[in-house]
């Protein structure tokens, strides 16, 4: 949870300064870290074996993990898709305006806060 909080604090500061690119990436990193923690917490064996086999977390594994977590943690898959949009469109493409970043950020943070007890 420490890394997640750190990413969220950094993102908030970047957003306060109007740096939507870096803010988008930090919100994404917070969500990514959450998916990894939850995958371990909920013992998603197929996911963890795939990570071990490939040697790292890849996008398709993170999507699979979020999908598998969603029945136990409703909204987690949608949160992940919003985080992915921040990563792709906000960070890589720099195509999100500040209002869209705020909207997506809210959707990511709300779910992270909802499930914070599962992240510690």
pLDDT at 120: 86
Which residues does the chain have with pLDDT short of 70? none
> Residue 83: which of 30, 17, 19 has the closest Cα?
30
Phi and psi torsions of 72, nearest 5°: -85, -30
Q: Which fold has domain 2-119?
A: 1.20.120
C-beta of residue 33 within 8 angstroms of C-beta of residue 110: no
In the predicted model, what is the mean pLDDT of the chain? 97
| pTM confidence score | 0.95
Instruction: Give the total residue count for the chain.
Output: 120
Q: 44-61, pLDDT tens digit by residue? A: 999 999 999 999 999 999
Q: Is the backbone of residue 75 left (phi > 0), alpha (psi -120 to 50) or beta? A: left
Decide: 51 and 57 in contact? Cβ < 8 Å. Answer: yes
What is the reported pLDDT for 10? 98
| 63-85: burial string, b at 16+ Cβ within 10 Å, e else | ebbbebbeeebeebbebbbbbbb
């Amino acid at each position: 949870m420490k890394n997640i909080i750190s990413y969220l604090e950094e993102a908030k500061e970047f957003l306060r300064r109007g740096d939507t690119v870096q803010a988008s990436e930090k919100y994404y990193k917070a969500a990514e870290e959450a998916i990894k923690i939850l995958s371990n917490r909920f013992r998603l064996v197929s996911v963890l074996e795939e990570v071990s086999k490939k040697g790292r977390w890849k996008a398709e594994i993170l999507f699979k993990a979020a999908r598998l977590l969603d029945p136990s943690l409703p909204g987690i898959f949608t949160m992940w898709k919003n985080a992915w949009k921040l990563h792709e469109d906000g960070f890589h493409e720099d195509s999100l305006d500040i209002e869209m970043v705020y909207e997506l950020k809210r959707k990511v943070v709300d779910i992270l806060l909802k499930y914070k007890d599962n992240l510690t």
